[in-house]
Amino acid sequence: MCGIVGYVGKRNSLPIILDGLKRMEYRGYDSAGVSIINSENKIINFKKAGKVDEMSKSIDKDIFSGNIGIGHTRWATHGIPNDCNAHPHFDMDDNIVIVHNGIIENYKQIKSKLADEGYTFKTETDTEVLANLINYYFKQTGEFEKAVRLALTDVNGTYGIACLCASEPDKMIIARNGSPLLIGIGNDETIVSSDASAVINHTRNVVYLEEGDMAIIKENGFKMKTIYDERIFREAKEIDFLIESIEKGGYDHFMLKEICEQPDSIQNTYRGRINFDTGITKLGGLESVFDKMLNAKRFIITACGTAWHAGLVGEYMLEQYCKVPVEVEYASEFRYRRPIINPDDVVILISQSGETADTLAALREAKKYGATTIGVVNVIGSTIAREVDAGTYVHAGPEIGVASTKAFTSQVMSLALITLMLAAEKKTISKDSLKEIATELKSLPGKIQNMIDIRNEYKKVAELFKDSRNFLYLGRGINFPVALEGALKLKEISYIHAEGYPAAEMKHGPIALIDENMPVVFIAPKDRIYEKVISNIEEVRARSGKIIVIATDDDKDIGSYADHILRVPRSSALFAPILNVIPLQFLSYYMAVARGCNVDQPRNLAKSVTVE
Ligand code: M6R
């Protein structure tokens, strides 16, 4: 959510900052800006509402030159997205300039105290208040570093910041609390960012800031401290992905690329973790807590959005195969609901980014009560991955499209692996079933590829319904969360209202919505509740709803019930959600394209939601 980039070195900082902002635009894209210290040690600033490209086109590149600079791409929290509220923000004296991700929760109190001291403000943002608070302490101490430190000890909330000071033009100061930041160590240069994608073009060597860390960056390198002035040293790590994985590679959109990557991303999730002869699964990252998992009285899965849907699939898997009770909670509700958490509970946190503020807060809540915490995370080294007791990376690779696709299927795969590992040890699954599942797993990437190859079939159906105003998605059992996920994908990128429901619940209310204008997507694989779903289809048919069915290849009867059929390969219940969601991803993608929507940057959304 929002992207920060900064440069200190010998090169002109502007092109590096603009390139970094462009690469991070999926984090927020309602306005963008840069501030650079020029050769006369003056801070020059340009910011504009709209996409990075608009800002980049309007900026006067002859004037904007200097070896130290910061930039920001914004997802608005405080103040509407306009030129004025865009970052960077100056203090009242135009001496200090700052870019900020996160929310300063006590900014109103600070603002009113500063106003009493004669401070004035031009914007509605919390960030401008922080800039002025730094100014306040700078006036008292005459030292930029001390001023930043003192200001940060006054604020409540979350921040990742980078700031410059015209009075001390040789340095940039950055700090982190609850919002990610990293330092890229280049040759005679340092590139700072909230996201590795903005740095990887220049260096693979990075230091991740931890909560309460600060860094003072100069041309000859950087030193790190806590905001309480203790010297610290953090080891450099290597970025674990290639630059190609964050580029579109010939696809029209990242979302399409990521949907089509799923044969590989799924394999990357299970590679080296399952013995295909025996079906025995081993997840090295969970070894240290495996006994706790075996003895757990209850699992709680908590996550947001798409990751929460994966969690619901996990509930079905763990309960059915491991015979252990599971609860699935919205992470955003978890903390405030005052949940009853016991030390013998295992809490699974699922997150693509590993930075979602609500999920992170749920993790900290669970830890407070002594529960064992497990992460199912995609981004390596992210905050959730670092703070859990143990975890398993889903290894889906960087996901840039705001609508999550390959991360979902890899999250579901990770939960399937956890299920198999536990069920084998608990002996709640037979050896033969384990072997069968392992054999089936081998065929999964090929089955996904088959669906990708026939995507034009899905596209034709999508285009027929592009002008629909509403959609219903219905599924039962393990496919109910798939219905939720299909509806979420459609809402997110095509702005068509969609609801996901358990198919049999429809008759308790939503059935009132059905008429000849209501398309209803049924997920109806030939499984043990197929006949029940067919009855639900009949109920919609009787009311003239338009019926689109996700049906398995071997289902010869479905033609008499459906207006449109989206075919999927048959599989066991464990892997069915992975296959069944793929036509729904294509359906939403092609509908959004047909409606002329910006698929990779849907309005009002950002890839990772690092504010509450
Ligand atoms: O990074 P996370 O997995 O924690 O993100 C959770 C949700 O914000 C995310 O899944 C969101 O719902 C996506 N935009 C869905 O496509």
pLDDT single digits (tens) 333-359 = 998 887 899 999 999 999 999 999 999
pLDDT (tens digit per residue) in 484-494:
999 999 999 99
Q: What number is the average pLDDT over the span 238-253?
A: 84
How remote is the CA of residue 358 from the centroid of ligand 1, in Å? 11
How remote is the CA of residue 405 from the centroid of ligand 1, in Å? 10
DSSP structure class, residue 178? B
DSSP 22-84: HHTGGG--SEEEEEEE-TTS-EEEEEEES-HHHHHHHS-TTT---SEEEEEEE--SSS-SSTT
User: Using CA atoms, how far apart are residues 448 and 262, in angstroms rounded to an integer?
Assistant: 7
Same domain, 437 and 526: no
Same domain, 125 and 223: yes
Among 26, 75, 356, name the best residue to mutate to test ligand 1's pocket (greatest count of ligand atoms within 8 A of Cβ): 356
Q: Whose structure tokens read 């997920």?
A: 523
How remote is the CA of residue 560 from the centroid of ligand 1, in Å? 37
CA angle 5/7/9 to nearest 5° reads 170
> Shortest CA distance to 29 belongs to which of 104, 87, 103, 69?
87
In a domain, 14, yes or no: yes
User: Using CA atoms, how far apart are residues 354 and 381, in angstroms rounded to an integer?
Assistant: 8
Among 411, 489, 608, name the best residue to mutate to test ligand 1's pocket (greatest count of ligand atoms within 8 A of Cβ): 608
pLDDT at 300: 97
Name the residue range of residue 172's domain: 3-239
Structure tokens at 527: 């499984």
Instruction: Verify whether residue 260 is a known catalytic residue.
Output: no
Structure tokens at 197: 């994608």
Backbone angles phi, psi at 581, to 5 degrees: -75, -20
pLDDT (tens digit per residue) in 586-601:
999 999 999 999 998 8
Inter-residue contact 392 to 418 (CB < 8 Å): yes
Same domain, 421 and 469: no
User: Using CA atoms, how far apart are residues 178 and 213, in angstroms rounded to an integer?
Assistant: 11
Among 26, 304, 598, name the best residue to mutate to test ligand 1's pocket (greatest count of ligand atoms within 8 A of Cβ): 304
Residue 203, Ramachandran bin (φ over 0: left; ψ between -120 and 50: alpha; else beta) = beta
pLDDT at 358: 93
**279 CB within 6 A, ligand 1:** no
Orientation of helix 126-141 relative to helix 144-154, angle to 10°: 130
> Shortest CA distance to 304 belongs to which of 326, 327, 332?
332
How remote is the CA of residue 303 from the centroid of ligand 1, in Å? 9
Which of the four pLDDT bands, split at 50, 70 and 90, describes residue 246?
confident
| pLDDT at 579 exceeding the cut of 80 | yes
Same domain, 461 and 494: yes
> Shortest CA distance to 487 belongs to which of 510, 455, 508?
510
Q: Whose structure tokens read 């609860």?
A: 327
Structure tokens at 246: 């964050």
Counting atoms of ligand 1 from 1, which one is nearest the CA of 605? Answer: 14
Counting atoms of ligand 1 from 1, which one is nearest the CA of 403? Answer: 16
pLDDT at 527: 85
Same domain, 540 and 590: yes
Residue 430, Ramachandran bin (φ over 0: left; ψ between -120 and 50: alpha; else beta) = beta
Which of the four pLDDT bands, split at 50, 70 and 90, describes residue 1?
low
Instruction: Verify whether residue 489 is a known catalytic residue.
Output: no
Structure tokens at 39: 């050769």
pLDDT (tens digit per residue) in 358-393:
999 999 999 999 999 999 999 988 899 999 999 999
Counting atoms of ligand 1 from 1, which one is nearest the CA of 404? Answer: 16
Q: What number is the average pLDDT over the span 277-300?
A: 95
Same domain, 143 and 288: no
In a domain, 394, yes or no: yes
**402 CB within 6 A, ligand 1:** yes
**485 CB within 6 A, ligand 1:** no
**492 CB within 6 A, ligand 1:** yes
User: Using CA atoms, how far apart are residues 578 and 599, in angstroms rounded to an integer?
Assistant: 22
Cα distance between the two ends of the chain: 11
How remote is the CA of residue 4 from the centroid of ligand 1, in Å? 20
**197 CB within 6 A, ligand 1:** no
In a domain, 27, yes or no: yes
Same domain, 470 and 417: no
Domain finish residue from 452, 486, 512: 452
Same domain, 226 and 92: yes
Alpha helices in 174-286 (DSSP H): 254-260, 262-270
Q: What number is the average pLDDT over the span 405-423?
A: 98
In a domain, 245, yes or no: no
Q: What number is the average pLDDT over the span 581-588?
A: 98
CATH classification at residue 331: 3.40.50.10490
- Provide the Cα torsion 422, 428, 431, 437; round to 10°: -70
Share of the chain above pLDDT 90, in %: 79
How remote is the CA of residue 413 from the centroid of ligand 1, in Å? 17
User: Using CA atoms, how far apart are residues 136 and 516, in angstroms rounded to an integer?
Assistant: 64
Considering 2, 163, 304, 597, which one is annotated as catalytic? 2
**609 CB within 6 A, ligand 1:** yes
DSSP 69-122: EEEEEE--SSS-SSTTTSSPEE-TTSSEEEEEES-BTTHHHHHHHHHHTT---S
Same domain, 536 and 604: yes
Domain finish residue from 406, 426, 452: 452
Nearest CA to ligand 1 atom 4: 351
Mean pLDDT of the chain: 93
pLDDT at 197: 87
**382 CB within 6 A, ligand 1:** no
Is residue 225 classed as helix, strand or coil in its secondary structure?
strand
Backbone angles phi, psi at 429, to 5 degrees: -135, 145
| pLDDT at 608 exceeding the cut of 80 | no
Same domain, 422 and 461: no
Inter-residue contact 186 to 9 (CB < 8 Å): yes
User: Using CA atoms, how far apart are residues 559 and 498, in angstroms rounded to an integer?
Assistant: 24
Counting atoms of ligand 1 from 1, which one is nearest the CA of 411? Answer: 3
Count of structural domains within the chain: 3
pLDDT (tens digit per residue) in 111-154:
999 999 999 999 888 999 999 999 999 999 999 999 999 999 99
How remote is the CA of residue 315 from the centroid of ligand 1, in Å? 18
Domain finish residue from 452, 469, 488: 452
pTM of model > 0.75: yes
Nearest CA to ligand 1 atom 8: 305
pLDDT (tens digit per residue) in 198-213:
999 999 999 999 999 9
How remote is the CA of residue 505 from the centroid of ligand 1, in Å? 26
Q: Which of 49-53, 80-84, 547-551 shows the lowest per-residue confidence on average (mean pLDDT)? A: 80-84
Same domain, 125 and 92: yes
| pLDDT at 28 exceeding the cut of 80 | no
pLDDT at 252: 92
Same domain, 286 and 232: no
| pLDDT at 107 exceeding the cut of 90 | yes
> Shortest CA distance to 307 belongs to which of 351, 242, 276?
351
**353 CB within 6 A, ligand 1:** yes
* Burial (Cβ within 10 Å: 0-12, 13-18, ≥19) of residue 229: exposed
Backbone angles phi, psi at 83, to 5 degrees: -55, -45
Q: What number is the average pLDDT over the span 299-314?
A: 98
